[in-house]
Amino acid sequence: MKFRSDPSTVRGSIAPVVTPFAADGSLDLGSLRSLVRWQLDQGSHGISTGGSTGEPGAQSVEERVAAMAVVAEETADRVPFLPGTGSAKLDETLRLTAEAERLGADAALVITPYYARPTQEALYRWYATVAAEFPALPIVIYNVPSRTAVDIAPATVARLRRDHDNIVGIKETTKDFEHFSHVLNLCGRDFLMWSGIELLCLPLLAIGGVGFVSAAANLAPKTVARMYEAYTSGDHATALDLHYSLHPLVELLFVETNPAPAKWVLEQRGLIASGHVRAPLITPTEPGIARINELLAQSEGVA
């Protein structure tokens, strides 16, 4: 809650941690606790849970709340806590957002409702409802059309920004980089924007973004955080070097469906007890593991 009063302090590398499950598929809160501690030790500037990398669609509301509670306890106001609270159902979204507020989250990351493919007017009303329900909680729109089948238009974001003071920013996970610029142009450059596309994290900073929520931080939190720090300190050459050093790990993340490759690597490194992913995902296949190992070799030294 420490950063809630000034959302502009939520900057840098906000690590979207995986949700560990035991080998039998049950929620592994012990591994999650250890993972958050490791992220903080490695220098991540904030923690997010319950985003796409956290497999929220495969969890019950109760499990998502339990995970949020662990992360809130471990971050303990040392860094911003930005949990994903969105769902395809409005009642679940409101319940999860209420729990995030109660647990002291600094902002709520609310995904566009998936599968239904709502119109722009419907998206406006969805976010307006959430914002009006929690006027004291900063709301961050989460735009990820590759997973939701709907793209929130820059004009819709700008309308929400004008009408609701607590809609403070957006996580853009679209490869249409022009979209980033249109949103900032319409909303104003004080609107907060984080990239969820790994290879657009560094370019976003050049046009006014405040950081990134990048799955690469699950495997190389120190490098991802240092890239932000180098750029904002004016050392653009180092930031560029770090950007390119991450390429093999970025490819690794998507050898098979995210977060299965990342969880497999985290298990191999002893950072979580099991790399289990819940159905409909599966752990990496043998060809996938072979490719993952090739890319790990290419990224040796990137941490």
Distances (CA, A) of 197 to 32, 62, 118, 146, 211: 23, 29, 23, 11, 11
- Closest listed residue to residue 127, CA positions, set 183, 82, 168, 188: 168
Close Cβ partners of 32 (under 8 Å, ≥ 6 residues apart): 17, 19, 20, 49, 67, 70, 71
- Closest listed residue to residue 286, CA positions, set 256, 247, 251: 256
Concerning whether 171 is annotated as a catalytic residue, the answer is: yes
How many angstroms separate the CA atoms of 18 and 281, rounded? 14
The two structure tokens encoding residue 48: 């997010």
Concerning whether 142 is annotated as a catalytic residue, the answer is: yes
Burial of 41 (0-12, 13-18, 19+ CB in 10 A): exposed
Which one from 142, 228, 231, 263 is the annotated catalytic residue? 142
Please, where are the H alpha helices in 84-187? 90-102, 120-133, 145-148, 154-163, 177-187
The residue assigned the tokens 């009006």 is 132
* Rg of the Cα atoms in the chain: 18
How many angstroms separate the CA atoms of 204 and 194, rounded? 8
The residue assigned the tokens 């969805």 is 126
Which one from 114, 115, 127, 171 is the annotated catalytic residue? 171
What residues act catalytically? Answer: 142, 171
